[in-house]
């Protein structure tokens, strides 16, 4: 199976890295291009052994899956670029936030799988959701699911859910990293050594995530189990509540979801 990536940024690299680690597709069958950053392409070649090219023939002839991994603002340019090479059996796997299947199909006459992965794809832990156009074949769905299994879990959803999924789990890793930034900064301010703090923070996250995964208790009950009356957790959580941190996170996810909708609206269906 030949797969070509249009775009060589963080999402493409995360997917390539996952696919290579799981040895799902041979490096010689993975092609990557970008707009002009040839140093980035060389880095990808050196790191993963994938084929890098600016020659469209090489990139797009006899390709089974084209992964669209440019920024949504560059979608039109990329779609026009690949348009002459599209066969009715070519599968487009798009990770573009907010760009609808119908929009892509208004320009390209081929089946589309629209995916919303996240950057944990690089370590095989992406929470990926996909929506399909009706003309995607069983084989194409199987191939894609297999491909995406190399980067984490995949759930099939109705396309209308993808904006919410983008706001929740597409952007999700960034919210967690944001919390860790705050934990690291506070660790420094309360006098902990950086390396010690880092180890403690990561293990705390790993433990809490594992508890969420294996325990049948709700997150609220797990939190209560940490919180002794009149103790330290209670004092800390009180500050979060006084600062409406939970409300801010809810607002954050809703705003990210809205932004995904706004992005999709900026691209008119032709
Ligand atoms: N980052 C994330 O966590 C996630 C991102 N996404 C989606 O993935 C997509 C890519 O995001 P991300 O990887 O972060 O973006 P990056 O900015 O890291 O990468 C974008 C890539 O697209 C290339 N590019 C732009 N225009 C063209 C063109 N006309 N032809 C070929 N290549 C082009 C750029 O090339 P050059 O550098 O040469 O300009 C660059 O390699 C976005 O649509 C985003 O919505 C989805 C889920 C998660
Ligand atoms: O920030 C973005 O637009 C992309 C979509 C999800 C994660 N990153």
Shared-domain flag, residues 147 and 179: no
Does some domain include residue 269?
Answer: no
Look at residue 267 in the predicted model and tell me its pLDDT: 46
Look at residue 269 in the predicted model and tell me its pLDDT: 45
Look at residue 8 in the predicted model and tell me its pLDDT: 98
Look at residue 203 in the predicted model and tell me its pLDDT: 98
Phi, psi of 19, deg, nearest 5: -65, -40
Looking at the CA of 14, name the nearest ligand.
Answer: 1
Q: How far is CA 60 from CA 23, 64, 261, in A?
A: 22, 9, 30
Is 70 annotated to bind ligand? Answer: yes
Q: Is the CB of 172 under 6 A from ligand 1?
A: no
Give CA angle at 65 (62, 70), nearest 5°.
115
Q: Is the CB of 152 under 6 A from ligand 1?
A: no
| Ligand 2 atom at shortest distance from the alpha carbon of 170 | 6
Where does residue 219 rank: exposed (0-12), middle (13-18), buried (19+ CB within 10 A)?
exposed
Look at residue 169 in the predicted model and tell me its pLDDT: 97
Q: Is the CB of 81 under 6 A from ligand 1?
A: yes
DSSP state at residue 168 = I
Distance CA 50, CA 10 (A): 15
Side by side, which strands form the sheet with 51-52?
Answer: 51-52, 30-33, 3-6, 65-68, 91-94, 112-116, 126-132, 152-156
Q: How many domains does the chain have?
A: 2
Give the CATH number, domain containing residue 97: 3.40.50.720
Look at residue 258 in the predicted model and tell me its pLDDT: 93
Residue closest to 204 by CA, chosen among 186, 191, 189? 186
From 15, 71, 85, 130, mutation site for ligand 1 pocket: most ligand atoms within 8 A of C-beta: 71
- Cα(66) to centroid(ligand 2), Å: 20
Look at residue 98 in the predicted model and tell me its pLDDT: 84
Query: What pTM was computed for the model?
Result: 0.90
Phi, psi of 112, deg, nearest 5: -130, 135
Q: Consecutive sets of 10 residues in the chain, 270 residues long: mean pLDDT of each?
A: 96 89 93 98 98 97 96 93 94 92 93 94 92 96 92 95 96 97 98 98 98 98 97 98 98 95 62
Give the CATH number, domain containing residue 256: 1.10.3730.10
Shared-domain flag, residues 79 and 179: no
């Amino acid at each position: 199976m030949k797969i070509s990536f249009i775009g060589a940024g963080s999402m493409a690299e995360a997917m390539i890295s996952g696919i290579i680690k799981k040895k799902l597709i041979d490096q010689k069958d993975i092609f990557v291009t970008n707009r002009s950053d040839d140093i980035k392409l060389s880095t990808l070649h050196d790191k993963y052994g994938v084929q890098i090219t600016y020659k469209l023939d090489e990139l797009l002839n006899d390709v089974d899956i084209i992964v669209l991994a440019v920024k949504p603002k560059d979608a039109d340019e990329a779609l026009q670029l690949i348009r002459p090479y599209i066969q009715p059996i070519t599968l487009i796997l798009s990770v573009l936030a907010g760009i609808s299947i119908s929009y892509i199909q208004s320009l390209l006459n081929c089946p589309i799988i629209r995916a919303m992965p996240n950057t944990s794809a690089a370590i095989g832990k992406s929470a990926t959701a996909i929506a399909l156009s009706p003309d995607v074949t069983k084989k194409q769905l199987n191939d894609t699911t297999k491909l995406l299994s190399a980067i984490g879990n995949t759930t099939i959803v109705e396309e209308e859910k993808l904006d919410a999924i983008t706001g929740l789990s597409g952007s999700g890793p960034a919210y967690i990293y944001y919390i860790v930034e705050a934990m690291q900064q506070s660790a420094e301010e309360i006098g902990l050594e950086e390396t010690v703090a880092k180890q403690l923070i990561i293990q705390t996250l790993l433990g809490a995530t594992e508890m969420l995964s294996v325990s049948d208790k709700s997150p609220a009950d797990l939190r209560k189990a940490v919180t002794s009356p009149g103790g330290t957790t209670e004092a800390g959580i009180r500050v979060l509540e006084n600062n409406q941190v939970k409300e801010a996170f809810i607002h954050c996810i809703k705003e990210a979801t809205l932004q995904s909708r706004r992005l999709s609206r900026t691209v008119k269906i032709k």
